[in-house]
């Protein structure tokens, strides 16, 4: 078993806290994405795993081994960097085989392993070239091949696709996902790109300000965010967040009473909810001033090809609706929106989700739950 586990990991740089009490496990043979904005501590966590940084406190385990104080070469991990980090004076064969060469693997065995890995990544025809003769996508495959060739206990990837163009990133993220699942490799993948995290990972760990915010499968992260930070960071467009008043007999949103069940209002009161979050696809555009709808003003319409995003002002707040292709409206025109509060989640003043949405996109019903 090659699970990677962080126990109360802390890291400070000259008084600046980069990681706070990180407790997290990347299960054996699973793909874990560390997702978050710049400066959230995700790369620091990866470098501590690799042994490139020493934690200020806490322990790191790979399998049953405490590797906290081991040198990088003794941890049995392979790292793929944002830069390809290929040796320009070596051939591709020599670059791939370098981890075996420094471990004194016999030349015949080394050649056999390099050939096998190169063939699996479809770069076997490039083995006698040098890095400068390759495209960005080919160089990234060589960096992956160099990591794979020694069959490590875990793969550590630090934004490996950020230097590629958009189309090649799309292709490579599919290839990396298929490769890691085929190898049955424990993988920790650092990224700020939510599309990479959501499409590639078995588990997503969202980081913010040095702390772990939530760890869950991608669908759960999207549908049931643990707090306002996760709700706003995950999703394109981000989850809409609006002020809500549940002090009276009705739920008041943007100054309008919205139909909601007594059970939902009671749960929101108990949790001291002050805001709600609603996904753009759960917002409907309605004709006229239907009962329970909220009047607004079109701010901008963004055709996206297969769909259209509408940015709408609701008084001093804004909301985004996702509708079908072909929608047209002039900026400044009047528009009405509605949504079912059961499709929303609700946050308290500290941003913690106190009531989760009652329906997932698949239509499965959940009870309203208040986080303690």
- More confident call, 251 vs 184: 251
- 240 and 218: one domain? no
Residue 277 has pLDDT above 80, yes or no: yes
Distance, CA of 70 to CA of 164 (rounded, Å):
33
Instruction: Give residue 1's pLDDT.
Output: 67
In a domain, 311, yes or no: yes
Instruction: Give residue 290's pLDDT.
Output: 67
Span 182-194, mean pLDDT? 92
In a domain, 370, yes or no: no
- 107 and 241: one domain? no
Q: Residue 183 has what DSSP assignment?
A: H
- 189 and 42: one domain? yes
Span 363-367, mean pLDDT? 38
Instruction: Give residue 200's pLDDT.
Output: 94
Which of 178, 208, 223 is the C-terminal boundary of a domain?
223
Span 258-285, mean pLDDT? 95
Distance, CA of 296 to CA of 293 (rounded, Å):
10
Q: Of 269, 296, 308, 292, which Cα lies nearest the Cα of 340?
A: 292
In a domain, 363, yes or no: no
DSSP string, 207-248: EETTEEEEEE-HHHHHHS-SBHHHHHHSSSSPPEEEEEE-SS
- 207 and 264: one domain? no
In a domain, 362, yes or no: no
Instruction: Give residue 140's pLDDT.
Output: 84
Distance, CA of 213 to CA of 215 (rounded, Å):
7
What are the structure tokens assigned to 274, written together? 């002050």
Q: Of 213, 274, 218, which Cα lies nearest the Cα of 245?
A: 274
Residue 158 has pLDDT above 80, yes or no: yes
How far, rounded to the nearest angstrom, does the alpha carbon of residue 93 sit from its chain's CA centroid? Answer: 34
In a domain, 60, yes or no: yes
Which of 158, 190, 223 is the C-terminal boundary of a domain?
223
Q: Domain of 52: which CATH number? A: 3.40.50.300
Instruction: Give residue 175's pLDDT.
Output: 83
Instruction: Give residue 242's pLDDT.
Output: 97
Span 244-265, mean pLDDT? 92
- 210 and 244: one domain? no
- 26 and 111: one domain? yes
Residue 368 has pLDDT above 50, yes or no: no
Span 270-291, mean pLDDT? 89
- 163 and 235: one domain? no
- 38 and 122: one domain? yes
Residue 364 has pLDDT above 60, yes or no: no
- 214 and 129: one domain? yes
Give 57-103 pLDDT, tens digit per residue: 999 999 999 999 999 989 999 988 877 789 999 999 999 999 999 88
Q: What is the mean pLDDT of the chain?
A: 90
Which of 223, 252, 278 is the C-terminal boundary of a domain?
223
Give 218-230 pLDDT, tens digit per residue: 999 999 999 999 9
In a domain, 188, yes or no: yes
- H or E element that contains 323: strand 317-324
Instruction: Give residue 360's pLDDT.
Output: 37
Q: Domain of 288: which CATH number? A: 2.40.50.140
Domain of 240, in residue numbers: 228-355
Helix, strand or coil, per DSSP, at residue 314: strand
- 168 and 240: one domain? no
- Domains: count for the chain: 2
Span 202-230, mean pLDDT? 97
Give 13-57 pLDDT, tens digit per residue: 988 999 999 999 999 999 999 999 999 999 999 999 999 999 999
Q: How many C-alpha atoms does 287 have within 13 Å on its Cβ side?
A: 0
Q: How confident is the model at residue 337 (pLDDT cuts 50, 70, 90)?
A: very high
Instruction: Give residue 372's pLDDT.
Output: 33
- 145 and 279: one domain? no
Which residues contact residue 93 at a Cβ distance below 8 angstroms, ignoring those fewer than 6 apart? 111, 114, 118, 127, 128
In a domain, 66, yes or no: yes
In a domain, 367, yes or no: no
- 182 and 295: one domain? no
Instruction: Give residue 169's pLDDT.
Output: 83
Instruction: Give residue 249's pLDDT.
Output: 87
Q: How confident is the model at residue 245 (pLDDT cuts 50, 70, 90)?
A: very high
């Amino acid at each position: 078993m090659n699970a990677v586990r962080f126990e109360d990991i802390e890291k400070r740089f000259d008084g600046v806290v980069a990681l706070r009490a990180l407790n997290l496990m990347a299960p054996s043979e699973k793909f874990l994405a560390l997702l978050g904005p710049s400066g959230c501590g995700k790369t620091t966590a990866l470098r501590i795993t690799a042994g490139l940084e020493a934690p200020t406190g806490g322990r790191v385990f790979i399998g049953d081994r405490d590797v906290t104080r081991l040198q990088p070469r003794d941890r049995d991990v392979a790292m793929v960097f944002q830069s390809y980090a290929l040796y320009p004076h070596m051939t591709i064969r020599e670059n791939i085989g370098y981890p075996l060469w420094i471990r004194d693997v016999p030349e015949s065995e080394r050649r056999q392993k390099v050939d096998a890995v190169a063939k699996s990544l479809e770069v076997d025809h490039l083995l006698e070239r040098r890095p400068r003769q390759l495209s960005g996508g080919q160089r990234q495959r060589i960096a992956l091949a160099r990591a794979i060739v020694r069959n490590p206990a875990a793969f550590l990837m630090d934004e490996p696709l950020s230097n590629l163009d958009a189309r090649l990133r799309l292709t490579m993220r599919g290839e990396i996902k298929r490769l890691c699942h085929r190898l049955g490799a424990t993988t920790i993948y650092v990224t700020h790109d939510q599309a990479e995290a959501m499409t590639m990972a078995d588990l997503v760990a969202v980081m913010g300000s040095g702390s772990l915010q939530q760890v869950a499968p991608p669908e759960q992260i999207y549908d049931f965010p643990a707090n306002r930070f996760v709700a706003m960071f995950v999703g394109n467009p981000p989850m809409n967040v609006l002020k809500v008043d549940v002090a009276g007999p009705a739920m008041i949103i943007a100054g309008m009473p919205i139909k909601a069940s007594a059970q939902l209002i009671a749960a929101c009161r108990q949790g001291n909810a002050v805001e709600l979050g609603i996904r753009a696809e759960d917002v409907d555009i309605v004709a006229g001033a239907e009962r329970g709808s909220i009047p607004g003003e079109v701010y901008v319409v963004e055709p996206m090809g297969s769909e259209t995003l509408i940015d709408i002002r609701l008084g001093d707040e804004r909301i985004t609706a996702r509708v079908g292709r072909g929608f047209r409206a002039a900026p400044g025109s009047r528009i009405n929106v509605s949504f079912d509060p059961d499709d929303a989640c609700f946050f308290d003043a500290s941003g913690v989700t106190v009531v989760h949405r009652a329906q997932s996109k698949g239509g499965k019903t959940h009870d309203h739950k208040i986080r303690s």
